[in-house]
Structure 1
Amino acid sequence: MPQHCHVDFEKGVLNLPKLKGVKAVFSHQFDGKVKTVTMSKTATGKYYASILVETNQTKVTASTIEVDKTIGIDLGLNHLLIQSDGQKIENPRYLRQSQKRLAIQQKIFARKRKESKNYQRQKLNVARIHEKVRLQRLDLNHKRTHHLICENQATTYAVEDLAIKNMVKNSKLAKSISDVAWGQFLTLLEYKAQWYGKNVLKIGRCVPSSKTCCCCSIKMEKLPLSVRLFECPSCNLVEDRDVNARINIRNFALADALGLSAV
């Protein structure tokens, strides 16, 4: 919508050009001039307003990249991510948790006569399950990125530039990849890092972070996903493959950014 939109936080209303006094729940309060308001409606009938605001706040300058304040983040399917201290955040698999209930509701939906009231009612039931899963993912990713950015002394975060669109072409992994919402996690991490003057470094999609030894840089020819331990034939390192990948992501990112050795 164009300009001439106004918000009243005290009364909890949103005033639009042709619609005044719309009751709203605001995620947070803000100062500044409202430029545009974009309205959207979900499949469950909920309305959302995305408000673009012009403020006088100065942009936070990104901090200097420091080796000892840089952490690597490895995103996975078994674990959502591995943090700088090696702690693994379990993947809750929200879609899988709701799969049985969703299948039952979809089966009921398939039997309904199109355009009937029962058809529309059951369509809404299915949409609500999908919405719950989506909001669960979003809530978790907000919490994890907030913890990394605001409750961590690191100033730089190294991640992989994942080719998610190509990865979901794998029919065996597509559902699991969609369920972890890597793209959403990275988007939240990047804009929050920008807010707080921190850096996000990305390594190339073809960098073999999982197959490379983090100690001696020897590259393994093959390392199937079923193999969870990285065993180096050269230096005899034995390490969890995800921990090994996290260290490599950090080292490769710093090498690209500062011209340091990747080992």
Structure 2
Amino acid sequence: MKTELARRLRELHERPPLVLPNAWDAGSARAIEAAGAQAIATTSAGVSWAAGVEDAGGLNRTTAIAAVRAIVAAVSVPVTADVESGYGDVEATVAEVIEAGVAGINLEDSDAGALVDPAVHAGRIAAARAAAVAAGIDLVINARVDTYLFGDGTGTIERAKIYAEAGADVLFVPGVVDAPTIRELVDGSPLPLNVMAGPGAPAVTELAALGVTRISVGPAITTAAYALAAAAAQELLTTGTYRTLSAT
């Protein structure tokens, strides 16, 4: 079953665009699958918030993998897991999420809000690929490049080339939503491009026309869900009415 899910996820990349709504727990994953998603991505930010901790450093490997395990168990479609920068031991982390049943991973090239040397991240990718080979899984490795999140994008394509050589399958560049930059990345990258979309970004059809292969939304759905919960609770506790709930 694990090998079949990995094969299905890889095949979905060959029929772009692959649209990946991001889940943060088993319930959200089921809702996303019921909406018609062919695959599901997790969001480390959403998983962190669901666990009551801050994103970017608050989540530990045990909690992250437990969330991944619950999400995979709740759905029948392939799941690709956000494992941040590997929680200190990329090979062990990837081995565990593969055992949990994931078909792909998202691995980022920053730590504590700063970019790491591309050679360091290439080593992480190679370690992830080694864990996948050892498990007999054709894992889809999405290499996240944070050059636009923590800088002006300098070196993005150079990093993509290094990561491709290390065994990455997809280039993920969050923080980019303007069409000209997206087109440059599509044209220059040796890997198919994953864009993190959301309000203010081009629509899925426009991104596909630009050549984007994979589209995810990061924590956007989680943020919207929690905003709804907060607004409904505030209305209930102040005016005692239910307009927010009736709007869903």
Kindly name which structure, 1 or 2, has the bigger radius of gyration based on alpha carbons: 1
Q: Which is helix-richer, 1 or 2?
A: 2
Question: Where is the strand percentage greater, Structure 1 or Structure 2?
Answer: 1
Name the TM-score class by shorter chain.
under 0.3
Q: TM-score, normalised by structure 1?
A: 0.27
Bigger RCO of structures 1 and 2 (CA < 8 A, at least 6 apart): 2
